[in-house]
Amino acid sequence: MRVTLFGASGLLGQELVHELSGNASSRSGPSGDDDQLTALSSQDADLRDHARIRDVIRDSRPDWILLSAAYTDVDGCESNRDLALAVNYEGAVNVAEAARESGSRLMFLSTDYVFNGSKRSPYEISDARNPTSVYGESKARAEERLLKTLPEVCIARTSWLFGHAGKCFPATILKLASTRPEISVVNDQRGSPTFTRDLASALVELCRASARGVVHVTNSGDCTWYEFATEILRESGLPAKVKPVTTAEFPRPARRPAYSVLSPDSLHAYNIRMPVWQDALRRYLDGPLAALPVVR
């Protein structure tokens, strides 16, 4: 299986490089050929440069394109709407059009932020998109356009990512807990923390299963940010306390969904099951992945 990855230097991208590089040395595709990975950072290929994207895909001739590159600064998107749409929407369209020209399959990484958070039961893939932030809008618009451009596209929605390859919530909590006796964390936003190592593995499995359409891919279970922080400190043994607060007490430029738990039914349809988030957190806290390659 030949794979071209956009966003190889990101939090998820570096785990995908590790997952696919490991597969390349130990697994063979259906044809018997070893997997081949072309890993590209934003410096290698700007999604806004249609000609560059087309050339990269033409030269690498991938079976699958994994598009994890994005402008993910949720609050920054609010004040940089044009940039958010140029990268997350127009850039995704550039990749999709190049994929169509080359006959490649495309997996697009999307987000729980395409929903407004008004439900109180897990979101199904059939639920209507209704984003409340510029970031969510840029991803929702991309989803809609990609499904028209490439009917066989696989849109993998995920949420609350954490991992060893960059900044994430557990790392922030551990840093704060090392210098403060008490940390305030919002307790009225609920979602599913997702370990990038588990996510990368599931995404590769979906490619091998020739997945198409929308699939929700998160670790099992759900919690609030306060509950997540409490578990981080409990597992790490740090003595700091966590104080539950409301979102209204910590206003941010972008509105976050109050509830964004994603139903796993679409993932289970491919016989793929993700570990519970507490187990994923314990493995994260065991230490960084020594073999994780750094892509710059």
pLDDT in tens, 252-287: 999 999 999 999 999 999 999 999 999 999 999 997
Alpha-carbon distances, residue 197 vs 100, 111, 271, 292 (angstroms): 29, 17, 18, 10
Cβ-contact 160, 145 below 8 angstroms: no
The predicted model gives 230-251 an average pLDDT of 95
**Three-class secondary structure assignment of 102-144:** HCCEEEEEEEHHHCCCCCCCCECCCCCCCCCCHHHHHHHHHHH
Residue 25 — very low, low, confident or very high, per pLDDT cuts 50/70/90?
very low
Q: Which sequence positions are flagged as catalytic? A: 135
- Report how far residue 267's alpha carbon sits from residue 291's, in angstroms, rounded to the nearest whole number: 28
- Report how far residue 21's alpha carbon sits from residue 90's, in angstroms, rounded to the nearest whole number: 29
Residue 293 — very low, low, confident or very high, per pLDDT cuts 50/70/90?
very low
Q: Is the pLDDT of residue 30 over 90?
A: no
| Chain mean pLDDT for the chain | 93
Q: Does domain 2-167+192-220+260-278 have CATH number 2.60.40.10?
A: no
Q: Is the pLDDT of residue 208 over 80?
A: yes
Kindly tell me the burial class for residue 30, based on how many C-beta atoms sit within 10 Å of its own C-beta (0-12, 13-18, 19 or more).
exposed
- The pLDDT value given to residue 22: 72
Residue 34 — very low, low, confident or very high, per pLDDT cuts 50/70/90?
low
Question: Counting every residue, how long is the chain?
Answer: 296
Identity of the residue numbered 182: E
Q: Is the pLDDT of residue 291 over 50?
A: no
